[in-house]
Amino acid sequence: MGERLHRQRVLVLTRMQSAAVSLEGLAVRLGEIVTLYSARHDDAVTANDLQSATEEMDSLRSGLVEANIELRQTLRDLD
């Protein structure tokens, strides 16, 4: 059981680190989108960029939800 819990811990920490890096990248992208919009007022490009950022955020959220579910299941199995 200890080894399984350790593997889950590593998995969750890895996913959290990946999500943190991805969130930093999203913050940069959103800053770029704002800057581009301010410079060009191009709604079409901005909308496409925002859609892409939204999809990436949804993917991150799904990955973290999945990790949370897996971790909770592992903890339930320890009882």
Structural domain spans, the chain: 2-78
Report how far residue 61's alpha carbon sits from residue 23's, in angstroms, rounded to the nearest whole number. 11
Residue 69 DSSP class: H
Planar angle of CA 48, 51, 53, nearest 5 degrees: 110
pLDDT at 30: 87
Contact in structure between 60 and 20 (CB atoms under 8 Å): no
Q: How far is CA 58 from the centre of its chain?
A: 7
Q: Is 1 helix (H, G, I), strand (E, B) or coil?
A: coil
pLDDT at 79: 67
| Number of other residues whose CB lies within 10 A of the CB of residue 51 | 10
pTM above 0.85, yes or no: no
Q: Could you report the per-residue pLDDT of 36-71, keeping only the tens digit for each?
A: 888 887 777 778 888 888 898 898 888 888 888 888
